[in-house]
């Protein structure tokens, strides 16, 4: 763990927003922390603070760069969690489902389809702000993961490039989607001399130890009039205001920064770019049926998790009912799988992520 200064203004005066005691037991509550490699040094009294000078919200103390590198060195940090409860009773499924899921061809094909809305989004901006054609638009996706967005962008016709720190993902992206220009490493290192019309960061900026430094580098990697899109969750959302510390995205190990409209604008401007504005995430998570579905599965997870953790009249009834519908599963296996079930009632992401756009005008 280490203490850090504000990434935007360099000040170290802050206000404590949320004190979070991360223990080995409650790790499962957090998005990226479930399978941290070094549970002894990476857990403890963490906090999310707000800079008194500029308002930037960030994790402090937080994992050191070395610990973060370890965290992102393999796919494991994504963990076997957030599963819907029926998988607990399905013996044909592997115990470590979520990790395996990334390798599943059907899943990867579906994700590439789901990512199409991001291509449509970029396309609107290309038409408005760039003089390029689709084919000669060079697009770099920083933190490309399995490359699903790049696959969608490549199918549409863009000239695509991508990089990610997780080696496993880059190799899966290359192998499955047959994408060529993918590299393991940070963008300035692996694409240093190259310039792009569009640079995208989907769910990336909140994970970076030094977002300002990366944005300054990316600014240099943009062509004239080049566009940058930063997709991240926002503190200006109703769900953060409502859930606070229990917000879906609160994760002091994986999420180091929590931006608001004001601070993300400042980040874009301090890197030398013009701020073009923000738009709401128009993916499936903004549809009303999604919120109902998420609430329903969260509530079910919560009930079943508690039924198997405790005993009592209702708990026994729930267990008996489940036995009627599902084949019995060995006690040990069930216990192990239960550990991966997240007993959250509110795994809700609803209108709380935005795409912030910046442009290079020189
Ligand atoms: Zn500050």
Residue that wins the pLDDT comparison between 72 and 98: 72
Residue with tokens 């579905």: 293
- Report the separation in Å between the CA atom of 299 and the middle of ligand 1, taken as the mean of its atom positions: 38
Q: Are 322 and 211 in contact (CB under 8 A)?
A: no
Residues 37, 352, 97, 318, CA torsion sign: positive
Q: Looking at residue 350, what is its pLDDT? A: 75
Percent over 70 (pLDDT), the chain: 89
- Residue intervals in the chain for CATH 3.40.50.150: 108-232+261-283+352-359
Alpha carbons 271 and 208: distance in angstroms, whole number? 15
Per-residue pLDDT tens for 188-243? 999 988 999 999 999 999 999 999 999 999 999 999 999 999 999 999 988 899 88
Q: Looking at residue 131, what is its pLDDT? A: 92
Per-residue pLDDT tens for 162-198? 999 988 889 888 999 999 999 999 999 999 889 999 9
| Cα distances (Å, whole numbers) of residue 323 to 32, 313, 319, 328 | 32, 16, 6, 7
Nearest Cα to Cα of residue 149 among 229, 30, 237: 229
pTM for the predicted model, two decimal places: 0.87
- Report the separation in Å between the CA atom of 89 and the middle of ligand 1, taken as the mean of its atom positions: 49
Q: Which residues contact 239 (CB under 8 A, 6 or more apart)?
A: 247, 248, 348, 349, 350, 351, 352
- Report the separation in Å between the CA atom of 140 and the middle of ligand 1, taken as the mean of its atom positions: 29
Helix and strand numbers, DSSP H then E, in the chain: 14, 11
Q: Looking at residue 343, what is its pLDDT? A: 65
- Report the separation in Å between the CA atom of 263 and the middle of ligand 1, taken as the mean of its atom positions: 9
Region of residue 147 (phi > 0: left; psi between -120 and 50: alpha; otherwise: beta): left
- Report the separation in Å between the CA atom of 48 and the middle of ligand 1, taken as the mean of its atom positions: 13
Q: Could you tell me the two tokens for 150? A: 């790049």
Q: Are 254 and 31 in contact (CB under 8 A)?
A: yes
Q: Which residues contact 214 (CB under 8 A, 6 or more apart)?
A: 142, 186, 187, 188, 208
- Report the separation in Å between the CA atom of 9 and the middle of ligand 1, taken as the mean of its atom positions: 4
Per-residue pLDDT tens for 276-296? 999 988 775 667 777 787 778
- Report the separation in Å between the CA atom of 207 and the middle of ligand 1, taken as the mean of its atom positions: 18
Which of 159-173, 263-277, 300-314 shows the highest mean pLDDT? Answer: 263-277
The CATH superfamily holding the domain 108-232+261-283+352-359 is Vaccinia Virus protein VP39 (3.40.50.150)
- Report the separation in Å between the CA atom of 6 and the middle of ligand 1, taken as the mean of its atom positions: 5
Asked if residue 84 has pLDDT above 80, the reply is: no
Residues 129-159 as b/e (b if ≥16 CB within 10 A, e otherwise) read: bbebeeeebbbbbbbbbbbbbbbbbbebebb
């Amino acid at each position: 763990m280490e203490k850090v200064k504000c990434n935007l203004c360099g000040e170290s005066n802050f206000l404590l927003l949320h004190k979070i005691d991360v223990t080995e037991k409650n790790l499962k509550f957090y998005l990226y922390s479930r399978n941290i490699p070094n549970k002894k040094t990476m857990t403890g009294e963490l906090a999310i603070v707000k800079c008194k000078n500029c308002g930037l919200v960030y994790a402090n103390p937080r994992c050191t760069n070395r610990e973060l590198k370890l965290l992102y060195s393999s796919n494991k940090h994504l963990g076997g969690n957030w599963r819907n409860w029926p998988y607990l009773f399905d013996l044909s499924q592997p115990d470590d489902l979520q990790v395996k899921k990334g390798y599943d061809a059907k899943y990867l094909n579906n994700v590439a389809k789901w990512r199409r809305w991001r291509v449509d989004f970029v396309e609107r901006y290309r038409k408005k702000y760039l003089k390029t054609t689709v084919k000669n638009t060079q697009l770099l996706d920083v933190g490309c993961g399995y490359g699903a967005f790049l696959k969608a962008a490549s199918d549409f016709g863009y000239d695509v490039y991508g990089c990610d720190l997780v080696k496993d993902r880059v190799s899966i992206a290359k192998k499955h989607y047959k994408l060529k220009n993918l590299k393991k490493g940070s963008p300035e290192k692996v694409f240093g001399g190259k310039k792009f019309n569009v640079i995208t960061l989907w769910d990336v900026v909140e994970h970076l130890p030094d977002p300002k430094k990366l944005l300054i580098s990316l600014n240099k990697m943009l062509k004239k009039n080049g566009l940058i899109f930063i997709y991240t969750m926002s503190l200006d959302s109703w769900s953060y205001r409502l859930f606070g510390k229990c917000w879906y995205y609160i994760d002091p190990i994986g999420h180091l920064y929590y931006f608001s409209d004001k601070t993300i604008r400042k980040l874009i401007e301090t890197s030398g770019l013009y701020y073009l504005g923000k738009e709401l995430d128009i993916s499936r998570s903004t549809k009303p049926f999604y919120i109902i579905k998420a609430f329903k599965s969260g509530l079910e997870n919560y009930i079943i998790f508690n039924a198997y953790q405790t005993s009592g009249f209702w708990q026994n009834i729930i267990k008996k009912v489940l036995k009627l519908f599902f084949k019995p599963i060995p006690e040990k296996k069930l216990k192990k799988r239960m550990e991966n079930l997240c007993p959250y009632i509110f795994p809700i992401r609803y209108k709380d992520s935005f795409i912030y756009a910046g442009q290079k005008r020189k």
